[in-house]
Amino acid sequence: MKIYLMGICGTAMAHVALLLKELGHSIVGSDTQCFDPIASLLAKNQIETHVGFDVQRLQTLKPDCIIVGNVISRGNPEIEYLLNKPICPLYSFPQFLEQYIIPRRPTFVVTGTHGKTTTTTLLTYLLKQFCNPGCLIGGLPNNFEHGASLGDEKAPFVLEGDEYDTAFFDKKSKFFHYWPHTLIINNIAFDHADIFDDLKSIQRTFYQLTRMVPSQGHIVMNGDDPNVRALLPCDWTHTHRVGFENQNDWQIKNFTTTSHGSQFDLYKLEQCVFANICLPLLGRFNAHNAALAIVACYVNQYSSIDVQRLTLFAGVRRRQSVLFESEQLTILEDFAHHPTAIQFMLETLKAHYPHHHLIACFEPACNTSASTWFSQQSYPTFYRADEVWLAPRKTNIYCDKFVQPLIPMDSSQVRQTLQQNRIKVNTFDSLDELIACIEGLTPEVPTLLCCFSNGRLSALLADIQRKKQKH
């Protein structure tokens, strides 16, 4: 088939394009803009990509079907044309996966407010010891050529399961299309304030997903998270609680931070099953990620896991990624944009770099983080930072008609809150101004600058990295 992807330059949509090309389809896509690394990924795989939307071009293409990303909304000229003159079927990408990619395959679905991409990558990496799994990962794994593969037809398929809505015509959470045989729930916190009213609404959504797990399937959950534990009991299937606390079925013990990352043991009912797990990632939250992936393999009869292979796990691009390092300055990039994820990351960095001046640079690039909801969490989010650099927030905040309207973040309010707690704050009127400040940073004391972004800042940071590597 000739398949046209609208909104192809999102990470997940780009990876769907790779899956479809692997199946032998002819793929073409469009988006409003396309930045590296996705632009290079699509070009390398010879996937034709257009910037902008054009009805005449669409008529010329004559696709057999169209996959619509969730960034596409009513008012898009191509959508308005297609709704008035249906020339071929429209799908969301989870719908297409549900119907054509994952049927008759056991699915591992990794969910949670944060940590999904790393955990999905860890799980895929571990399963490759036993089979050739399919995967769809919402990031760019450093151990694989890219984050999408069909794998073998009878092997498991690993999916990153997102609770965000699916498309303008399909407003339920994406993960409902994936019918998990094994469901990982990493954590649950309030997020996506543009479509969910409150934490209970999110918990209800996750609980509905647990009801889809078959009796011979598994739910592997972060037992340290009270919001996840509240989903229990799930008596219709097998459940496995994993974490640091004593009440868990699987317990992380003897956790230490090493010069190369983290090390821990994993116990089942007071018996050590996996000892000296060495993970080249920092933080207790990454120990959670790895332990959940290990247990998901173990309970599915992949019990002879060689956990020592994790020493070669290279992580995911834009997660704790070192962009530049010198004697006085280290620049990291991290995708975190939820308050809890940023807080965990800053706590981890402060512990690992105790003698560095820690600057947290944050771009409020999604609906939730650009709102006052995020600004109200500003102090617990950034309390471990010595200094905060605040990029301009997203200007157009979308909100579902039937949830409480989001109020745009007031940067001056964030500045005032943090300064009252003795944290220095710099706010920037443009990304160009911020980038100039990063490029000109020549600290007199050892400094760690961590840039948190899920927006355009990431592409600009890649340019900085290239410039600094040349010099």
pLDDT, tens digit, for every residue of 18-41?
999 999 999 999 999 888 788 889
Tell me the pLDDT of the chain averaged across its residues. 91
Same domain, 306 and 274: yes
What proportion of the chain, given as a percentage, has pLDDT over 90?
66
pTM over 0.85: yes
Convert 283-320 into a string of H (helix), E (strand) and C (coil).
CHHHHHHHHHHHHHHHCCCCCCCCHHHHHHCCCECCCC
Q: Can you give the residue range of the structural domain that contains 350?
A: 321-470
Q: What is the pLDDT of residue 471?
A: 58
Query: What mean pLDDT do residues 344-357 have?
Result: 92
Same domain, 298 and 376: no
Domains identified in the chain, total number: 3
Q: What is the pLDDT of residues 220-245, one digit of tens each?
A: 999 999 999 999 999 999 999 999 99
Query: What mean pLDDT do residues 120-128 have?
Result: 97
pLDDT-derived band at 465 (thresholds 50, 70, 90) equals low
pLDDT-derived band at 466 (thresholds 50, 70, 90) equals low
Same domain, 294 and 404: no
CA angle 403, 404, 407 (to 5 degrees): 130
Q: What is the pLDDT of residue 404?
A: 78
Q: What is the pLDDT of residue 407?
A: 84
**CATH number of the structural domain spanning residue 441:** 3.90.190.20
Query: What mean pLDDT do residues 303-318 have?
Result: 91
At which of 312, 341, 376 does a domain end? 312
C-alpha 399, offset from chain centre: 21
Instruction: Inform me whether the pLDDT recorded for 368 exceeds 90.
Output: no
**CATH number of the structural domain spanning residue 77:** 3.40.50.720
Q: What is the pLDDT of residue 323?
A: 85
Same domain, 343 and 297: no
* Contact between residue 186 and residue 222 where contact means Cβ atoms under 8 Å apart: yes
The top-scoring range by mean pLDDT among 91-95, 101-105, 191-195, 373-377 is 91-95
At which of 76, 95, 114 does a domain end? 95
Query: What mean pLDDT do residues 85-108 have?
Result: 94
Give the β-pairing of 238-243 and 250-258.
Answer: parallel
Instruction: Inform me whether the pLDDT recorded for 399 exceeds 80.
Output: no
Same domain, 128 and 207: yes
Same domain, 126 and 55: no
pLDDT-derived band at 314 (thresholds 50, 70, 90) equals very high
**CATH number of the structural domain spanning residue 130:** 3.40.1190.10
At which of 312, 333, 366 does a domain end? 312
Same domain, 114 and 131: yes
Instruction: Inform me whether the pLDDT recorded for 394 exceeds 80.
Output: no
Q: What is the pLDDT of residue 268?
A: 96
Q: What is the pLDDT of residues 166-192, one digit of tens each?
A: 999 999 999 999 999 999 999 999 888
Same domain, 307 and 381: no
Residues 6+ apart with CB under 8 A from 266: 250, 251, 252, 253, 272, 273, 274, 277, 291, 294, 295
Same domain, 91 and 112: no
Same domain, 361 and 269: no
Same domain, 418 and 397: yes
Convert the chain into a string of H (helix), E (strand) and C (coil).
CEEEEECCCCHHHHHHHHHHHHCCCEEEEEECCCCCCHHHHHHHCCCEEEECCCHHHHHHHCCCEEEECCCCCCCCHHHHHHHHCCCCCEEEHHHHHHHHHCCCCCEEEEECCCCHHHHHHHHHHHHCCCCCCEEECCCCECCCCCCEECCCCCCCEEEECCCCEEECCEEEEHHHHCCCCEEEECCCCCCCCCCCCCHHHHHHHHHHHHCCCCCCCEEEEECCCHHHHCCCCCCCCEEEEEECCCCCCEEEEEEEEECCEEEEEEEECCEEEEEEEEECCCCHHHHHHHHHHHHHHHCCCCCCCCHHHHHHCCCECCCCEEEEECCCEEEEEECCCCHHHHHHHHHHHHHHCCCCEEEEEECCCCCCCCEHHHHCCHHHHHCCCCEEEECCCCCCCCCCCCCCCCCECCHHHHHHHHHHCCCEEEECCCHHHHHHHHHCCCCCCCEEEEEECCCCHHHHHHHHHHHHHHC
pLDDT-derived band at 470 (thresholds 50, 70, 90) equals low
Same domain, 325 and 440: yes
